[in-house]
């Protein structure tokens, strides 16, 4: 398969249009436009019955004690884990394009609803856990919410935009399912996949 993510080139910075957080000199970060990018794929294998869209950051620190803390940095040596930013499953086989802004257009405090959307079934992203302690933002975050890495991280983060062609029409997922549940449900059903990787940082020393 081939995947095009409009506005994002392989291993190049992701435009702020698609970010949850953008650099701000006074406060380090402010909310960004948070639009999902347009994704279009081709060369779909025969027998495809549905698609999964997944976007995740594998560079998130496993220990969050120093994240976004004045006078501290997040060490490059801290082990990193996956942070899911976008989960869309059970996309019908006749759909091969997600328009820009279709699944996200702005930051929505307390999140967007999970479940059936215009193009598939929305899973829950990891902002649900990350913002759980913020009374103004806590909620269930579903669908797409873009990059917002720690502004004091020593490394640039990478964001993998993926499409997977499956041999089943539905993964049978319900409720507030997460990235781990999607990966488990997809296992043994993936006919082909494609990926585009972009980068992003809020650390002015790395910009």
Q: State pLDDT tens for residues 125-151.
A: 999 999 999 999 999 999 999 999 999
pLDDT for residue 117 is more than 90 = no
Residue 121 and residue 94 in contact, taking contact as beta carbons nearer than 8 Å: no
**For residue 97, what pLDDT is reported?**
98
**For residue 55, what pLDDT is reported?**
98
Tell me the pLDDT of the chain averaged across its residues: 97
Q: What confidence tier does 185 reach under pLDDT thresholds 50, 70, 90? A: very high
* pTM for the model: 0.96
Helices (H) and strands (E) in the chain, counts: 2, 12
How would you classify residue 16: left for phi > 0, otherwise alpha for psi between -120 and 50, otherwise beta?
alpha
């Amino acid at each position: 398969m081939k995947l095009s993510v409009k506005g994002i080139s392989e291993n190049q910075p992701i435009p702020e249009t698609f970010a949850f957080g953008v650099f701000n000199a006074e406060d380090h970060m402010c909310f960004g436009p948070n639009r999902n990018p347009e994704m279009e794929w081709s060369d779909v294998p025969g027998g495809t019955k549905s698609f999964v869209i997944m976007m995740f950051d594998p560079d998130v620190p496993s220990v969050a004690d120093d994240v976004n803390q004045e006078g501290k940095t997040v060490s490059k040596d801290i082990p990193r884990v996956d942070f899911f930013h976008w989960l869309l499953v059970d996309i019908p086989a006749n759909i091969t394009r997600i328009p820009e802004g279709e699944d996200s257009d702005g930051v929505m405090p307390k999140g967007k609803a999970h479940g059936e959307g215009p193009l598939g079934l929305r899973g829950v992203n990891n902002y649900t856990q990350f913002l759980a302690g913020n009374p103004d933002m806590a909620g269930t975050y579903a669908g797409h919410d873009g990059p917002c890495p720690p502004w004091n991280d020593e490394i640039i983060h990478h964001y993998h935009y993926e499409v997977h062609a499956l041999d089943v029409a539905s993964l049978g997922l319900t409720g507030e399912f997460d990235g781990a549940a999607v990966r488990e449900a997809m296992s043994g059903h993936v006919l082909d996949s494609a990926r585009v990787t972009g980068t992003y940082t809020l650390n002015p020393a790395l910009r």
